[in-house]
Amino acid sequence: MKKFYFDVHMHLDLYKDTKNIINHILQYKSYTIAVTNLPYLYDRAMKKYGEHKYIRFALGLHPELIEQYPEQIPLFFDRLENCRYIGEIGLDFSKTTSRSKLLQTDTFEKIIRACNKYGNKILSIHSRKAEKEVIDIIGAEFNGKIILHWYSGNMSELNRAIKNNYYFSINGDMLTTKKGRDIVNKIPLDRILIESDAPFTKDTRNTYSIMYIENIVSELSYIKKLEKNEMFHILKRNFIRLLK
């Protein structure tokens, strides 16, 4: 079976050798959602690199940066209607960002309302230490597709997200911890997607390789007790369904 590669969450614009990585992605025909952290970074990436057959840049407003760049919030909403891929967005209630909790929450609620209004958008969501609040805000009837990126919350909130038919993007670092493997074990096969979160995962800090994606598939097939080719087939089906 011909291998089908994809990566639903990576930060292409944060590499120094972005053009080489783009060529690598195109060589392997790996469908890639390149998230951004702020609207001006999205604009810069679109202007500098444009879109390719296998690469789509996503409009982002990272929760860890909202307080530092409040002027970017209206720019995000100016661009939102015309962007299908949205990310990285969400909430982060860890110690370093907890003081911006109200601004984060207000902004995220507005983003979800707007995306519900426009419809058919694909969102890549950051939810560190704020899984309950993220799920409360999105709800069960979202008018589009939700991907919880690098989910690290408890099993109770995981079950809620599964019932709401969210997707979960899994990276290699998640699979190196018992908690991460337990989370993956709980996620239904038809809700699993692959991400690298490059360059923030251990094996992607210096460069980006499709072998990283290949290794995630190998590890997932081991955890889920499936043949690797079958895992590739399931992931391909999930990705195609995500885009419909």
- From the number of C-beta atoms within 10 Å of its C-beta (0-12, 13-18, 19+), residue 187 rates as buried
pLDDT tens for each residue of 2-38: 799 999 999 999 999 999 999 999 999 999 999 999 9
Which pLDDT score is estimated for 1? 62
CATH fold for domain 6-243: TIM Barrel (3.20.20)
Q: Are the beta carbons of 39 and 79 closer than 8 angstroms?
A: yes
Which pLDDT score is estimated for 167? 99
How many helices (H) and strands (E) the chain has is answered by: 9, 8
Phi, psi (5° rounding) for residue 86? -125, 125
Residue 102 has pLDDT above 90, yes or no: yes
Q: Any binding-site annotation on 197?
A: yes
Domain ranges of the chain: 6-243
Q: Are the beta carbons of 63 and 126 closer than 8 angstroms?
A: yes
Q: Any binding-site annotation on 126?
A: yes
Residue 143 has pLDDT above 70, yes or no: yes
Which pLDDT score is estimated for 98? 83
Residue 156 has pLDDT above 90, yes or no: yes
How far is it, in rounded angstroms, from Cα 237 to Cα 178?
A: 27
Which pLDDT score is estimated for 2? 79
State the alpha helices, DSSP H only, in the chain. Answer: 18-28, 39-49, 72-80, 101-118, 131-138, 155-163, 178-186, 210-223, 228-243
Which amino acid appears at position 161 of this protein? A
Residue 229 has pLDDT above 70, yes or no: yes
Residue 230 has pLDDT above 70, yes or no: yes
Q: What percent of the chain has pLDDT over 90?
A: 97
Mean pLDDT across 184-203: 98
pLDDT tens for each residue of 104-139: 999 999 999 999 999 999 999 999 999 999 999 999
Mean pLDDT across 208-235: 98
Q: Any binding-site annotation on 141?
A: no
For all residues of the chain together, what is the average pLDDT? 97
Which pLDDT score is estimated for 51? 82
How far is it, in rounded angstroms, from Cα 127 to Cα 88?
A: 10
33: β partners: 56
In our burial notation (b when 16+ CB lie closer than 10 A, e otherwise), range 72-90 reads bbebbeeebeebebbbbbb
Q: Are the beta carbons of 93 and 131 closer than 8 angstroms?
A: no
How far is it, in rounded angstroms, from Cα 232 to Cα 214?
A: 9
Q: Any binding-site annotation on 88?
A: yes
Two structure tokens written together for 160: 């809620």
Q: Any binding-site annotation on 11?
A: yes
pLDDT tens for each residue of 67-97: 999 999 999 999 999 999 999 999 999 999 9
